[in-house]
Amino acid sequence: MPAISRDEVAHLARLARLAVTDEELDVFAGQLDVILRSVASVGEVAADDIPPTSHAVPLTNVFRADEVRPGLNQQQALSGAPEAEDGRFRVPRILGEEQ
């Protein structure tokens, strides 16, 4: 017995305001049946004795420890800029004259 009937697919199509032909209803019913059965089979695989996991293998933190380091001062940061004005990067205007 299919997991979803042709009438149920037609009802879903009406709810979604989709215009589907009789041929499309048959195709969609078959495709949705395959999808629903696949989802149901995945649900059957999970067993109570298997703990939920987020990864197949244990992971450890691979990031380096954070270290405070001196940063650039304003003059150093602006030294490589093509243009600077009033202690800031000068960039081309991207918006019109409207404000």
Residues 6+ apart with CB under 8 A from 74: 87
pLDDT of amino acid 58: 79
Contact 49, 36 (CB under 8 A): no
**Which residue blocks in 20-97 are alpha helix, DSSP H?**
22-45, 74-78
Instruction: Provide CATH code, domain 6-45.
Output: 1.10.20
pLDDT digit string, tens, across residues 40-99? 887 777 677 777 777 878 778 778 888 999 999 999 999 989 999 999 999 988 887 665
Q: Give the residue from 8, 55, 43, 57 showing the smallest Cα distance to 28.
A: 8
C-alpha 46/C-alpha 39 separation (Å) is 12
Q: Residue ranges per domain, the chain?
A: 6-45
